[in-house]
Amino acid sequence: MTLTAILPSLRASIPDPLDPSAWPAHTEPTTDDVRVSAVSMARLADVAGTPCVHTAEEAPPRYRSRDWTPRGMSVAVAAVTGVRRTDGGLVLELDAVLPACAVLDEARLIGRRTTAPRATAVVRDALADGEGADAAVLVVPADVEVGDLVCFPCGRALTHREVVVTHHVAPVSTASPVVPAPFSTPASVGSSR
Protein backbone atom coordinates (compact mmCIF):
# COMPACT_ATOMS: atom_id res chain seq x y z
CA MET A 1 0.00 0.00 0.00
CA THR A 2 1.35 3.38 -0.96
CA LEU A 3 1.12 6.69 0.85
CA THR A 4 -1.15 8.10 -1.88
CA ALA A 5 -3.52 5.14 -1.40
CA ILE A 6 -3.73 5.82 2.34
CA LEU A 7 -4.08 9.60 1.93
CA PRO A 8 -5.69 10.28 -1.47
CA SER A 9 -5.45 14.04 -0.92
CA LEU A 10 -1.68 13.75 -1.50
CA ARG A 11 -2.34 12.90 -5.16
CA ALA A 12 -2.74 16.61 -5.86
CA SER A 13 0.99 17.09 -5.20
CA ILE A 14 2.59 13.61 -5.38
CA PRO A 15 2.02 11.21 -8.30
CA ASP A 16 1.01 7.62 -7.61
CA PRO A 17 4.09 5.42 -7.90
CA LEU A 18 4.25 2.96 -10.78
CA ASP A 19 5.94 -0.41 -11.20
CA PRO A 20 9.00 0.34 -13.36
CA SER A 21 9.15 -3.25 -14.64
CA ALA A 22 5.64 -2.98 -16.14
CA TRP A 23 6.27 0.28 -18.02
CA PRO A 24 8.76 1.12 -20.78
CA ALA A 25 12.20 2.53 -19.94
CA HIS A 26 12.31 6.21 -18.95
CA THR A 27 8.66 6.37 -17.82
CA GLU A 28 7.85 9.15 -15.37
CA PRO A 29 4.49 9.63 -13.65
CA THR A 30 3.18 13.10 -12.86
CA THR A 31 0.07 14.09 -10.95
CA ASP A 32 -2.00 14.23 -14.16
CA ASP A 33 0.05 12.50 -16.86
CA VAL A 34 2.56 9.79 -17.74
CA ARG A 35 5.64 10.66 -19.79
CA VAL A 36 7.48 7.95 -21.70
CA SER A 37 10.92 9.11 -22.89
CA ALA A 38 9.70 12.71 -22.48
CA VAL A 39 6.55 12.07 -24.58
CA SER A 40 3.38 13.11 -22.74
CA MET A 41 0.63 10.51 -23.13
CA ALA A 42 -2.08 13.15 -22.57
CA ARG A 43 -0.59 15.31 -25.32
CA LEU A 44 -0.24 12.29 -27.62
CA ALA A 45 -3.96 11.58 -27.17
CA ASP A 46 -4.71 15.25 -27.82
CA VAL A 47 -2.73 15.26 -31.08
CA ALA A 48 -3.42 11.74 -32.40
CA GLY A 49 -6.90 11.15 -30.94
CA THR A 50 -7.93 8.09 -29.01
CA PRO A 51 -7.27 5.26 -28.95
CA CYS A 52 -3.56 5.70 -29.58
CA VAL A 53 -0.39 3.72 -28.95
CA HIS A 54 3.17 4.78 -28.12
CA THR A 55 5.96 2.22 -28.52
CA ALA A 56 9.23 2.33 -26.57
CA GLU A 57 11.93 0.01 -25.26
CA GLU A 58 11.40 -2.33 -22.35
CA ALA A 59 12.93 -1.25 -19.04
CA PRO A 60 15.93 -3.36 -18.07
CA PRO A 61 15.26 -5.94 -15.35
CA ARG A 62 17.04 -5.55 -12.05
CA TYR A 63 19.09 -8.69 -12.61
CA ARG A 64 19.87 -9.40 -16.23
CA SER A 65 22.21 -11.61 -18.15
CA ARG A 66 24.94 -10.22 -20.38
CA ASP A 67 23.11 -11.17 -23.55
CA TRP A 68 19.89 -9.39 -22.54
CA THR A 69 18.50 -7.12 -25.24
CA PRO A 70 15.48 -4.86 -24.78
CA ARG A 71 12.30 -5.65 -26.66
CA GLY A 72 9.55 -3.27 -27.62
CA MET A 73 6.56 -2.51 -25.42
CA SER A 74 3.71 -0.07 -25.75
CA VAL A 75 1.58 2.32 -23.77
CA ALA A 76 -2.02 2.59 -24.97
CA VAL A 77 -4.34 5.52 -24.26
CA ALA A 78 -8.12 5.13 -24.44
CA ALA A 79 -11.01 7.47 -23.68
CA VAL A 80 -13.87 6.59 -21.35
CA THR A 81 -17.07 6.56 -23.42
CA GLY A 82 -19.48 5.32 -20.75
CA VAL A 83 -19.66 5.03 -16.95
CA ARG A 84 -22.28 3.16 -14.96
CA ARG A 85 -22.15 3.08 -11.17
CA THR A 86 -23.49 -0.11 -9.56
CA ASP A 87 -23.48 -1.62 -6.07
CA GLY A 88 -20.51 -3.80 -7.07
CA GLY A 89 -18.45 -0.91 -8.39
CA LEU A 90 -18.06 0.82 -11.72
CA VAL A 91 -18.72 -0.45 -15.22
CA LEU A 92 -16.73 1.40 -17.87
CA GLU A 93 -16.86 1.52 -21.64
CA LEU A 94 -13.68 2.45 -23.51
CA ASP A 95 -13.16 3.44 -27.12
CA ALA A 96 -10.43 0.80 -27.48
CA VAL A 97 -10.07 -2.96 -27.52
CA LEU A 98 -8.10 -4.14 -24.50
CA PRO A 99 -5.27 -6.33 -25.84
CA ALA A 100 -4.35 -9.54 -24.03
CA CYS A 101 -0.90 -8.13 -23.20
CA ALA A 102 -2.34 -5.09 -21.34
CA VAL A 103 -1.16 -4.68 -17.75
CA LEU A 104 -4.43 -3.43 -16.29
CA ASP A 105 -3.12 -3.34 -12.71
CA GLU A 106 -1.05 -0.34 -13.80
CA ALA A 107 -3.86 1.61 -15.53
CA ARG A 108 -3.80 5.32 -14.76
CA LEU A 109 -6.19 8.21 -15.25
CA ILE A 110 -4.44 11.02 -17.14
CA GLY A 111 -5.41 14.48 -18.29
CA ARG A 112 -6.66 15.77 -14.93
CA ARG A 113 -5.76 15.67 -11.25
CA THR A 114 -8.05 13.92 -8.81
CA THR A 115 -7.92 13.11 -5.12
CA ALA A 116 -10.85 10.68 -5.23
CA PRO A 117 -10.27 7.26 -3.65
CA ARG A 118 -9.60 4.29 -5.93
CA ALA A 119 -12.46 2.10 -7.14
CA THR A 120 -12.63 -1.18 -9.04
CA ALA A 121 -14.05 -0.87 -12.53
CA VAL A 122 -15.09 -3.60 -14.94
CA VAL A 123 -14.64 -2.87 -18.64
CA ARG A 124 -17.93 -3.74 -20.33
CA ASP A 125 -16.53 -4.57 -23.76
CA ALA A 126 -14.41 -7.29 -22.18
CA LEU A 127 -17.49 -9.11 -20.86
CA ALA A 128 -18.49 -11.94 -23.13
CA ASP A 129 -21.35 -13.63 -21.25
CA GLY A 130 -22.34 -11.05 -18.69
CA GLU A 131 -20.27 -10.56 -15.56
CA GLY A 132 -17.76 -13.38 -15.31
CA ALA A 133 -14.34 -14.19 -13.98
CA ASP A 134 -12.69 -13.30 -17.28
CA ALA A 135 -13.80 -9.67 -17.13
CA ALA A 136 -11.13 -7.00 -17.49
CA VAL A 137 -10.81 -5.09 -14.23
CA LEU A 138 -9.18 -1.68 -13.79
CA VAL A 139 -8.53 0.30 -10.65
CA VAL A 140 -9.35 3.95 -11.35
CA PRO A 141 -10.41 6.98 -9.29
CA ALA A 142 -14.03 6.75 -8.18
CA ASP A 143 -14.92 10.06 -9.84
CA VAL A 144 -14.08 8.81 -13.36
CA GLU A 145 -16.40 10.30 -15.97
CA VAL A 146 -17.07 10.20 -19.70
CA GLY A 147 -14.26 11.87 -21.61
CA ASP A 148 -11.49 10.95 -19.16
CA LEU A 149 -8.33 9.35 -20.53
CA VAL A 150 -6.96 6.05 -19.26
CA CYS A 151 -3.48 4.83 -20.16
CA PHE A 152 -1.99 1.42 -19.50
CA PRO A 153 1.21 -0.40 -20.44
CA CYS A 154 1.24 -3.39 -22.78
CA GLY A 155 3.81 -6.16 -22.55
CA ARG A 156 4.73 -6.08 -26.24
CA ALA A 157 4.91 -3.62 -29.09
CA LEU A 158 1.44 -3.04 -30.53
CA THR A 159 0.22 -1.55 -33.74
CA HIS A 160 -2.57 1.02 -33.80
CA ARG A 161 -5.05 -1.41 -35.37
CA GLU A 162 -4.66 -3.83 -32.46
CA VAL A 163 -6.35 -1.39 -30.05
CA VAL A 164 -8.77 0.43 -32.37
CA VAL A 165 -12.44 -0.48 -32.14
CA THR A 166 -13.81 -1.33 -35.55
CA HIS A 167 -17.07 0.46 -36.18
CA HIS A 168 -19.78 -1.36 -38.09
CA VAL A 169 -20.51 0.39 -41.35
CA ALA A 170 -24.04 0.30 -42.75
CA PRO A 171 -24.23 -1.85 -45.88
CA VAL A 172 -24.15 0.02 -49.14
CA SER A 173 -27.41 -0.08 -51.08
CA THR A 174 -27.27 -1.77 -54.49
CA ALA A 175 -30.21 0.24 -55.81
CA SER A 176 -29.49 2.72 -58.55
CA PRO A 177 -28.52 6.13 -57.23
CA VAL A 178 -30.80 9.10 -57.59
CA VAL A 179 -29.28 11.52 -60.06
CA PRO A 180 -30.22 15.16 -59.50
CA ALA A 181 -31.62 17.14 -62.39
CA PRO A 182 -29.06 19.32 -64.15
CA PHE A 183 -28.87 22.88 -62.98
CA SER A 184 -30.43 25.30 -65.41
CA THR A 185 -30.46 29.05 -65.24
CA PRO A 186 -33.71 30.92 -65.71
CA ALA A 187 -34.06 32.76 -69.03
CA SER A 188 -34.45 36.12 -67.29
CA VAL A 189 -31.03 35.91 -65.64
CA GLY A 190 -28.41 37.78 -67.58
CA SER A 191 -30.77 39.06 -70.25
CA SER A 192 -31.24 42.74 -70.81
CA ARG A 193 -34.38 44.43 -72.11
Look at residue 43 and tell me if it is in a domain: yes
DSSP secondary structure of 2-56:
-HHHH-GGGGGTSPPP--TTTSBTTEEE-SS-EEETTEEHHHHHHHH-SSEEEEE
Whether this prediction's pTM lies above 0.85 is answered by no
Task: Domain of residue 128: give its range.
Answer: 3-60+70-162
Look at residue 76 and tell me if it is in a domain: yes
Look at residue 175 and tell me if it is in a domain: no
Q: What is the tens place of the pLDDT at every residue in 81-106?
A: 999 988 878 899 998 888 889 999 89
Look at residue 170 and tell me if it is in a domain: no
Looking at residue 93, its amino acid is: E
Look at residue 179 and tell me if it is in a domain: no
CATH of the domain at 38: 2.40.37.10
Look at residue 140 and tell me if it is in a domain: yes
Residue 48, Cα to own-chain centre: how many angstroms?
A: 12
Q: What is the tens place of the pLDDT at every residue in 104-137?
A: 989 999 999 888 888 889 987 644 444 444 578 8
Look at residue 193 and tell me if it is in a domain: no
Q: What is the tens place of the pLDDT at every residue in 37-78?
A: 999 999 999 999 989 999 998 887 777 778 777 788 999 999
Domains contained in the chain, number: 1
Please list the residues that pair with 108 across neighbouring strands: 151
